[in-house]
Amino acid sequence: MRPSTLTLALTATHSSSAATVSETQLIARQTASSGCKDVHLFLARGAGDPYPGTQGPLVPAVCDSLPSCDHEDILYVGTFDRVCNSVQVGVVNATNQITAYAARCPESKLVLCGHSERNRPNNL
């Protein structure tokens, strides 16, 4: 498969009514749906945001018009009080999650969506 780049320009709005999801719930949801999709989004929330953070509205904005699309949240602490550890854990988890999905689903298009005050999720 020849690598390609998909660029999306979307505006997401933060929903204050978003339900808080635990990391245990995320892991269960993400490992339960192991089927490959044509497009798979990886969401990196901002520090202090609950999962999926301000990136949550991107999922329906992108996936609703596609026949085969889903997402997963990049797992990390995401708190201001432990920001150095949080960034390191986020980079390791993002690398592992993206690498695992790419190995399992080599034909899928992978999209990394992130929000950070300093844009760190997109500097992997």
Higher pLDDT, 107 or 13: 107
Q: Using 50, 70 and 90 to split pLDDT, how confident is the model at 110?
A: very high
Report phi then psi at 71, rounded to 5.
-150, 165
pLDDT (tens digit per residue) in 28-84: 545 555 689 999 999 998 888 888 888 889 999 999 999 999 999 999 887 777 777
To the question of pTM greater than 0.95 for the whole model, the response is no
What average pLDDT score do residues 107-122 get?
77
Q: What confidence tens digit (pLDDT) does each residue in 15-32 have?
A: 333 344 565 555 554 555
Q: Which CATH class is domain 37-122?
A: alpha beta
User: Structural domain boundaries of the chain?
Assistant: 37-122
